[in-house]
């Protein structure tokens, strides 16, 4: 063996000796791998051939064709074994969506690259090409329809492979589960129609550069008909595996051993024998092509493939597709190693960079969730309009921004500007669809019995407030009412009843606020609180709170009017008789929060139901941190080199104690920035809310590192596990001293006792649970590739702390949903004669440990009054789910993500309920036909 090793050292000199030297050196390296797999059977022959070639090189000063031909003859006994292996060369062009350039450049790169591929196909009849991402095909359709016809022809020839099961090569940690489902749904529908192909052929997701993968990727992909997954980052170990979700669903995964942007060189053969033998294959894949602005595979690559396939002591090498490789793998899938769990973490700074893009994602997902729910039910119940096309466009905007260099924030300002433009269009579609649906309900609610006649000739209120509230990502609070008596409907998008303090905006109500009276639909008095009054575009408004109740996926009705009379009050002088120190305490029936008198830090959070303390004093909450990092700052979080608690020069602005809400508002400087923090507690709520407005002026650079604003809560109990919400589920992680991803919340699990703390965010994704504390990174001023992604902006952030005495995943998910989906109030025109009652639930989860992820109208439906309802099981237990509807259920069936019918094992219908089984941690999608209410 030592003699052979000495001889092998000469191969490097061979490879430098031109084409023939590289050829024989490469063949010998490949033969060495074959020999190693066969107990060194070819070692002596190889040593002899190497000595022969070395001698000829020494004799002539070169390695010529004749020498190589003779060497190959001497090794001919290995030829049959060498050709037993096959390399399928799959060409592709990795095209990043708006990474370090703008949209117009992305369009140009796509068209230029595809033009090159089509030209090479004309010249090389055997050449094949594979391309992912529905978004690039949309580019061609919009900007070069003639090219699209060329591509379509090549697709039908089998030479252009479509490897797209997602709208873009998306991040797999921050988008929620429904976003992942919509990638599959809209990609399949769009490409099947655009290219006239079978949607079932789109069973591969090609995402080489994605920065880590959540635990439920196999669940979503398998439920969407995707069987194979190609990636590169986020894991180590095996290259081929069956990745299994917690539910038991699995997919076949190939993790690129080398890199997805690659040239064709002889080295592609050297690992083939070992890889094939490891997994029981005779065929393996080589992915090649220059990425982004490189234009994909080159002529040199193609010529090299054609040439190397003629080498007698090399594997068979040819052009091919991912589909044929995965078809070969599918035959040995039962022998592949099985893996479980998430494939993280890589580039943890991407959970917090470019906070505006992340805000856009969260708000876009939330707005579409509510809009589809209200519009879908309104369509099924009263035949209100529903536009699948508009929702598809809005979702495609959201999905595009989930590209793995956009939502992670590892992009430049041009990319952010484009993303924010798409976000505005998304919110316009979602907001108008939601408002239209709510108005359709209101038109059919019978209010004829609760309003008296009133002279409203002099009213100014109708039409006031146009656009008011949209800046806060809600529907506009335009007034439709008039006179002293106003009518409001409160809508709830959640599939369970909610009782919450809710904000109502009343316009041009020029009467005595002391005499305001609120009642529910039955005339029962409802508690209220006046918050503030102001002016807006020539009108006056008053913000009030009411103690509202709204049924599941439904609405309730409230009336505001003026009392006929009030008891006269004796007015005493208001001059102070004693001086009292304001107590910075927020307390209700459930929790008590105590704040430091000097700096407003949280010093105690008591769960009054259990008597347990949750925070360790002083819980300073806000910190300014400097990270020690000089490059790749958008991708990585650096070591914390300096941590300053934001506690100096705190100015107490306001202390309010109303019947429904108590609020402490303060201002504080945070280096060159300024925070305004309003902390509030509502009656009967276990939730402490933080509304943060930050004028951020911090700039990161190589000298200072990266400054960040951080929300940090030290815990008063031992915590060995932290839970986080992930797409379609919850994951428990051990303490980690780095940022980890979650969709919206983190929970510190208590080793002993009942009460535990949970933090919910409206737009943040980077959490850190370690050392008996919970933290959220709020703003990070990374400086590359965008030097100024955050500073100079007014950031508005909402956070909530829950004193949670339950511990179930379902309850935690519900808490977070309530925080991020407040009840919606709609001003009503007044008296209407309709078919709907004053209060109505339309869809309620009445049994089972399931969470409703989406309610929508089917994409294609031949029947009226149909709904798609998607749920996931949250507790890891086999469960029977029961959904109750307002109408009689005509029929129900299981469908997959693409809304294709599945076997209906276990579905039962009883009048207005659908009952069905769901596997632990699994997802289920149902198509349900209801009996409409005749309007």
pLDDT in tens, 99-123: 999 999 999 999 999 999 999 999 9
Provide the pLDDT confidence category of residue 581 given band limits of 50, 70 and 90: confident
Provide the pLDDT confidence category of residue 443 given band limits of 50, 70 and 90: very high
DSSP run (H or E) holding 434: helix 413-444
Please say if the pLDDT value at position 91 is more than 90.
Answer: yes
Cβ atoms 553, 513 nearer than 8 A: no
- Mean pLDDT for the chain? 94
Q: Which residue has the tokens 């106003």?
A: 486
Mean pLDDT of the region 713-732:
96
DSSP run (H or E) holding 133: none
3-state secondary structure of 819: helix
Cβ atoms 785, 596 nearer than 8 A: no
Mean pLDDT of the region 431-459:
88
Cβ atoms 912, 888 nearer than 8 A: yes
249 CB-near residues (< 8 Å, 6+ apart): 218, 219, 222, 223, 922
Could you give the C-alpha distances from 863 to 378, 856, 928, 932, in angstroms and in order?
15, 14, 10, 11
Strand partners, 780: 708
591-595 vs 661-670, strand pairing mode: unpaired
Q: Which residue has the tokens 């190889």?
A: 46
How far is residue 662 CA from its own chain's centroid? 34
Four-point Cα dihedral 917, 919, 921, 926, nearest 10:
-50
The pLDDT, as a whole number, for residue 449 is 84
Strand partners, 746: 724, 759
What's the per-residue H, E or C state across 356-417? HHHHHHHHHHHHHHHHHHHHHHHHHHHCCCCCHHHHHHHHHHHHHCCECCCCCCCCCHHHHH
Mean pLDDT of the region 643-648:
95
890 CB-near residues (< 8 Å, 6+ apart): 865, 929, 930, 931
The pLDDT, as a whole number, for residue 461 is 87
Four-point Cα dihedral 702, 703, 707, 713, nearest 10:
110
Provide the pLDDT confidence category of residue 190 given band limits of 50, 70 and 90: very high
Q: In terms of Cα–Cα distance, which of 853, 863, 925 is closest to 890?
A: 863
Task: Kindly report the backbone phi and psi dihedral angles of residue 428, in degrees, each rounded to the nearest multiple of 5, phi listed first.
Answer: -65, -45
Mean pLDDT of the region 51-75:
94
The pLDDT, as a whole number, for residue 805 is 65
Q: Please state, in angstroms and rounded to a whole number, the distance separating the CA atoms of residues 879 and 872.
A: 11
Please say if the pLDDT value at position 178 is more than 70.
Answer: yes
Per mean pLDDT, which range of 5-19, 564-578, 610-624, 741-755 is the poorest? 564-578
Cβ atoms 81, 41 nearer than 8 A: no
The pLDDT, as a whole number, for residue 133 is 97
The pLDDT, as a whole number, for residue 291 is 87
Q: Which residue has the tokens 């809304």?
A: 899
Looking at the chain, the whole-number percentage of residues with pLDDT higher than 70 is: 99
Please say if the pLDDT value at position 566 is more than 70.
Answer: no
Please write the tens of the pLDDT for every residue from 463-494.
Answer: 899 999 999 999 999 999 888 899 999 999 99
Please write the tens of the pLDDT for every residue from 646-705.
Answer: 999 999 999 999 999 999 999 999 999 999 999 999 999 999 999 999 999 999 999 999
167 CB-near residues (< 8 Å, 6+ apart): 133, 134, 135, 182, 183, 186, 187, 396, 399, 400, 402
The pLDDT, as a whole number, for residue 755 is 87
The pLDDT, as a whole number, for residue 861 is 77
DSSP run (H or E) holding 177: helix 177-195
Provide the pLDDT confidence category of residue 2 given band limits of 50, 70 and 90: low
The pLDDT, as a whole number, for residue 5 is 79
Mean pLDDT of the region 550-562:
96
Could you give the C-alpha distances from 252 to 223, 277, 325, 332, 340, in angstroms and in order?
14, 18, 12, 10, 12
Mean pLDDT of the region 210-226:
97
Cβ atoms 87, 269 nearer than 8 A: yes
Please write the tens of the pLDDT for every residue from 326-341.
Answer: 999 999 999 999 999 9
Please say if the pLDDT value at position 1 is more than 80.
Answer: no
């Amino acid at each position: 063996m030592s003699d052979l090793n000495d001889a092998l050292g000469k191969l490097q000199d061979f490879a430098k000796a031109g084409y023939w030297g590289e050829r024989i050196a490469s063949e010998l390296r490949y033969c060495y791998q074959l020999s190693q797999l066969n107990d060194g059977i070819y070692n002596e022959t190889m040593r002899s051939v190497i000595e022969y070639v070395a001698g000829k090189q020494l004799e002539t000063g070169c390695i010529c064709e004749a020498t190589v031909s003779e060497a190959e003859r001497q090794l001919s006994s290995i030829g049959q074994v060498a050709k037993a292996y096959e390399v399928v060369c799959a060409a592709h062009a990795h095209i990043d969506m708006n990474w370090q350039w703008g949209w117009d450049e992305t369009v140009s790169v796509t068209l230029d690259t595809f033009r090159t591929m089509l030209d090479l196909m004309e010249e090389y009849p055997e050449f094949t090409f594979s391309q992912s991402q529905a978004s690039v095909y949309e580019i061609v359709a919009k900007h070069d329809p003639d090219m699209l016809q060329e591509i379509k022809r090549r697709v039908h020839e089998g030479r252009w492979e479509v490897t797209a099961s997602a709208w873009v090569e998306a991040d797999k940690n921050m988008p929620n589960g429904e976003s992942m489902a919509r990638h599959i749904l809209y990609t399949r529908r769009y490409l099947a129609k655009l290219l006239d192909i079978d949607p079932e052929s789109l069973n591969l997701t090609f995402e080489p550069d994605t920065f880590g993968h959540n635990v439920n990727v196999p669940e979503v992909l398998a439920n969407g008909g995707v069987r194979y997954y190609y990636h590169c980052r986020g894991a180590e170990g095996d290259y081929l595996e069956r990745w299994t979700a917690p539910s038991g669903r699995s997919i076949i995964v190939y993790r690129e051993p080398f890199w997805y942007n690659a040239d064709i060189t002889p080295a592609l053969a050297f690992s083939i024998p070992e890889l094939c033998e490891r997994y029981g294959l005779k065929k393996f894949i080589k992915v090649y092509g220059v990425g982004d602005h490189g234009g994909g595979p080159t002529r040199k690559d193609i010529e090299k493939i054609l040439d190397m396939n003629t080498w007698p002591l090399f594997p068979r090498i040819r052009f091919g597709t991912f589909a044929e490789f995965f078809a070969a793998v599918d035959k040995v899938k039962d022998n592949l190693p099985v893996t479980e769990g998430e494939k993280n973490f890589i580039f943890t700074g991407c959970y917090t960079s470019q906070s505006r893009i992340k805000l856009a994602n969260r708000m876009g997902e939330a707005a579409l969730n509510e809009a589809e729910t209200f519009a879908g039910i309104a369509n099924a119940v009263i035949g209100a309009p529903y536009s699948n096309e508009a929702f598809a466009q809005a979702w495609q905007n959201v999905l595009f921004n989930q590209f793995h260099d956009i939502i992670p924030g590892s992009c430049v300002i041009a990319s952010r500007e484009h993303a924010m433009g798409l976000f505005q269009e998304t919110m316009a579609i979602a907001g108008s669809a939601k408002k239209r649906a709510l108005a359709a309900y209101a038109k059919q609610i019978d209010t004829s019995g609760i309003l008296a006649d009133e002279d409203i000739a002099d009213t100014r209120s109708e039409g006031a407030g146009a656009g008011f509230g949209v800046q806060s990502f809600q529907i506009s609070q335009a007034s439709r009412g008039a006179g002293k008596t106003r009518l409001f409907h409160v809508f709830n998008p959640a599939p369970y009843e909610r009782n919450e303090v809710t904000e109502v905006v009343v316009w041009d109500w020029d009467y005595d606020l002391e005499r305001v009276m609120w009642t529910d639909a039955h005339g029962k008095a409802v508690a209220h609180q006046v918050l503030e009054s102001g002016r807006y575009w020539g009108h006056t408004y008053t913000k009030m709170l009411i103690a509202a109740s709204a049924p599941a996926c439904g609405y309730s009705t409230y009336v505001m009017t003026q009392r006929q009379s009030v008891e006269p009050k004796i007015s005493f002088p208001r001059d102070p008789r004693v001086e009292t120190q304001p107590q910075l305490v927020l307390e209700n029936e459930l929790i008590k929060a105590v704040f430091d008198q000097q700096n407003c830090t949280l010093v105690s959070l008591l769960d009054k139901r259990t008597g347990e303390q949750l925070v360790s004093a002083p819980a300073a909450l806000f910190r300014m941190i400097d990270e020690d990092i000089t490059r790749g700052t958008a991708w990585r979080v650096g070591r914390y080199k300096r941590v300053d608690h934001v506690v100096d020069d705190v100015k107490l602005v306001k202390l309010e104690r109303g019947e429904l809400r108590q609020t402490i508002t303060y201002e504080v400087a945070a280096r060159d920035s300024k925070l305004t923090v309003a902390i509030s507690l509502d009656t009967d709520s276990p939730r402490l809310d933080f509304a943060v407005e930050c004028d951020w002026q911090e700039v990161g650079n190589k000298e200072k590192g990266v400054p960040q604003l951080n929300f940090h809560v030290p815990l008063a109990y031992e915590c060995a596990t932290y839970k986080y919400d992930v797409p379609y589920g919850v994951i428990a992680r051990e303490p980690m001293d780095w940022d980890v991803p979650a969709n919206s919340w983190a929970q510190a699990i208590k080793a002993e006792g009942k009460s535990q703390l949970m933090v919910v965010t409206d737009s943040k994704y980077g959490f850190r649970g370690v050392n008996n504390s919970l933290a959220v990174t709020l703003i990070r001023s990374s400086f590359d590739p965008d030097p100024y992604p955050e500073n100079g902006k007014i950031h508005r952030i909402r956070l909530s702390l829950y004193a949670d005495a339950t511990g179930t995943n379902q309850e935690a998910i519900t808490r977070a949903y309530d925080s991020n989906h407040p009840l919606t109030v709609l001003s009503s025109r007044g008296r209407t004669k309709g078919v709907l009652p004053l209060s109505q639930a339309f869809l309620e989860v009445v049994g089972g440990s399931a969470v409703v992820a989406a309610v929508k109208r089917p994409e294609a439906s031949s029947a009226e009054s149909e709904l798609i309802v998607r749920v996931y099981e949250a507790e890891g237990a086999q469960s029977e789910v029961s959904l109750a509807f307002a109408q009689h259920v005509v029929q129900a069936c299981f469908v997959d993500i693409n809304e294709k019918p599945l076997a209906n094992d276990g579905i039962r219908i009883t009048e207005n309920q659908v009952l069905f089984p769901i596997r632990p941690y699994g997802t289920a999608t149902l198509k349900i036909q209801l009996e409409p209410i005749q309007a």
